[in-house]
Structure 1
Amino acid sequence: MVEQPGSARSLMLVLHDVAPETWPDYQPFVQAIDALGNVPMTWLVVPDFHHRNALTRSPTFCRLLERRLACGDELALHGYYHADDGPPPRGPGEFFMRRLYTHEGEFYRLDQAQALQRLEAGLALFGQQGWPVAGFVAPAWLMSAGTRQALRQLPLRYTSTPQHLYRLPDFTAYSAPGLVWSARSAWRRGLSKVLSDWQCRRWRDAPTLRLGLHPVDMRHASARNYWLDTLQQLLAEGREPLTKSTWLARQATR
């Protein structure tokens, strides 16, 4: 059963794929958001993005994330490598999900032990940095059954998919529809805008709406401006910006 959120209107601004190499993409956009005032964000942090961005080797970036926490933002665990480095796909269905849909579904094929090992490594890194962590989001939102089993064993409070937030460990589902772009090519950006405009109309009265941003969005003016304009429009309509943790905590007290 999917729980329906309370009637208060809100939004969640979520930055995916946060790593030292993606920060230059995000920096101008984050500065623009900061200029709007108090708009807390959820940063989905990858401990070692594509095996070449270990946070342990980036103390300056880690200090930046600490400043964001002090400003009221939230850091969540977003995979470990954000790369699908498992055995080759088996069958056409798996080939589609792991090679055509995405190359970054890190947790799509992991068994429980493998998933638990990476999750615990990510949580240990957060702990070493002194960062609180309540949530985990799988790269491309793809989670194996083993990953779900592993999440039930850990002191995390939530995970999410494109349309829901799940309270852990029982995976209670809350409706939280999200907008996301595919910005890798001009035709994808055009289609993403059409789809997102339609979704905004469809979900106009939804109690909450998530904006899921990616670094590639920031490299194209049409995508970057869309997110900034949409955020400002939703704020003007009276939606309260919240981190994922804050939003979920409010559902738990209803």
Structure 2
Amino acid sequence: MVERSVLLVLHDVAPHTWTDYRPFVEAVDALGAVPMTWLVVPDFHHRDALAAHTDFRRLLDTRVAKGDELTLHGYYHCDDQPPPRSPKEWFMRRVYTHEGEFYQLPQVQALQRITDGIEVFRRNGWPLQGFVAPAWLMSQGTRQALRQLPLSYTSDPQHLYRLPDFTALNAPGLVWSARSAWRRGLSKVLSDRREQHWQTAPVIRLGLHPVDMRHEFSRRYWLDTLQRLLNAGRTPLTKAAWLAMQP
């Protein structure tokens, strides 16, 4: 049993976000054997389909061969449902995020989208164990759909859930809001406090987004934090590898 782990997770992976991630991934590769979990979107915002990008699919092939994990991250990663009808819906779907693809989906539609995503992975020969909803938002219909599918886990910001019964495992995560300078500054303060609080936690997840990579301040934070956790003796694992080690 690995006593303390760190999970490096790249969100919103799509052909157009590789430009953002590439320098960071190369820097992580230079550290040695640090496996990563890539949250892959099959057709980002209906305009970035993996099927149209052979070179990017080959890149993902090489990451799988290297020991990284690819996880299904929604299908379109955008909220394309009818407009909000209540103040709560408006906040969740227009203020908190515009990308809660699975926040409102009924079971039939959620099942179809996840099944379509599974088929994308199958066609490319990529092993698949997990599904993560964009913004971690899932309707009850999505949860019901996941109970019917051959997947091992899903997650929210602080937990991994074994499927199909949604058994919760504590897996605290750091994540930034990096769209503006004040958000980046606040994110660092909060993340430093949380990292200190979680010093003895069995696992810490680092949840990166493409926007983090567009600013030296946030990009450097993630690389420094990863190195600090590795130097503190944490073992880098993918989500699936860590889950397989849990009782």
The 8 Å contact of residues 107 and 140 in structure 2, kept in 1 or not, is answered as: yes
1:15 aligns to what? 10
1:204 to 190, 199, 202: 199
Residue of structure 2 aligned with 1:85, choices 68, 71, 80: 80
Give the structure 1 partner of residue 122 of structure 2: 127
Q: CA RMSD in A?
A: 0.7
Aligned: 1:68 with 2:63: yes
Contact 2:174 2:206 (8 Å CA) reproduced: yes
Select the residue among 141, 145, 150 that pairs with 1:146.
Answer: 141
Give the aligned partner of residue 220 of structure 2. Answer: 225
- Does the Cα contact within 8 Å between 2:2 and 2:235 map onto a contact in 1? no
1:184 maps to: 179
Counting only pairs closer than 5 Å after superposition, residues 155-170 of structure 1 correspond to structure 2 as 155-170=150-165
Residue identity opposite 1:139 in structure 2: P
**Structure 1: 4+ residue segments shifted above 3 A:** none
2: CA distance, partners of 1:123 / 1:192: 34
Q: % of aligned pairs identical? A: 72
Shift of 1:217: 0.1
Could you say what secondary structure the match of 2:155 adopts? strand
SS at match of 1:12: strand
- Measured after TM superposition, the shift of residue 191 of structure 1 is 0.5
Kindly state the Cα deviation for residue 77 of structure 1 after the two structures are TM-superposed. 0.1
When the two structures are aligned, how many residues end up with a matched partner? 247
Paired letter, 2:205 = R
The one of 91, 98, 110 equivalent to 2:93 is 98
Instruction: Write the distance in 2 (CA, Å) between the matches of 1:191 and 1:147.
Output: 32
Contact map agreement 2:7 2:236 (CA 8 A) in 1: yes
Gap regions ≥5 residues in structure 1: 1-5
Alignment TM-score, normalising by the size of structure 2: 0.99
1: distance between equivalents of 2:196 and 2:128? 33
Q: What is the rounded CA distance, in whole Å, between the counterparts of 1:141 and 1:162 in structure 2?
A: 7
